[in-house]
Amino acid sequence: MELLYAVALAVLTSCGIYLMLRARTFPVVVGLALLSYAVNLFLFATGRLAEAAPAVLGKAEVYADPLPQALVLTAIVIGFAMTAYALVLALRAQGELDSDHVDGKGDH
């Protein structure tokens, strides 16, 4: 399970970085979203992937660590707001510049 999780994180991270390096604004926004998902999965994995294992060693009760879950929940909200803001900026720039290039130069 850990190998599958690590491969999924690697694929999300590499696709996100690849899309962020594109010259168009929409792939940059999608790349930011993918990188945000990869970070959320990484934060979630810090709470342990083992099933039926205590979060704190020495305890007999089985429970999940609530801190990574709270961090992921906060990161999801912040990531959604960041994606919406970046998308609005990209749409506004395309409307004013008639181009969706990141540097503002179009191939007219």
Whether 107 maps to a domain, the answer reads no
Whether 78 maps to a domain, the answer reads yes
pLDDT (0 to 100) of residue 93? 83
Extract long-range pairs of 31-35: CB within 8 Å, 24+ residues apart: 32/82, 32/83, 32/86, 33/79, 33/83
Whether 104 maps to a domain, the answer reads no
Ranges in the chain, pLDDT < 70: 48-65, 104-108
Whether 108 maps to a domain, the answer reads no
Number of independent structural domains in the chain: 1
Whether 103 maps to a domain, the answer reads no
pLDDT (0 to 100) of residue 64? 63
Residues in contact with 25: Cβ distance below 8 Å, sequence separation at least 6, in sequence order: 90, 93, 94, 100, 101, 102
pLDDT (0 to 100) of residue 101? 82
Domain with 88, as residue range(s), is 2-97
Whether 105 maps to a domain, the answer reads no
Select from 55, 83, 82 the least CA-distant residue to 69.
55
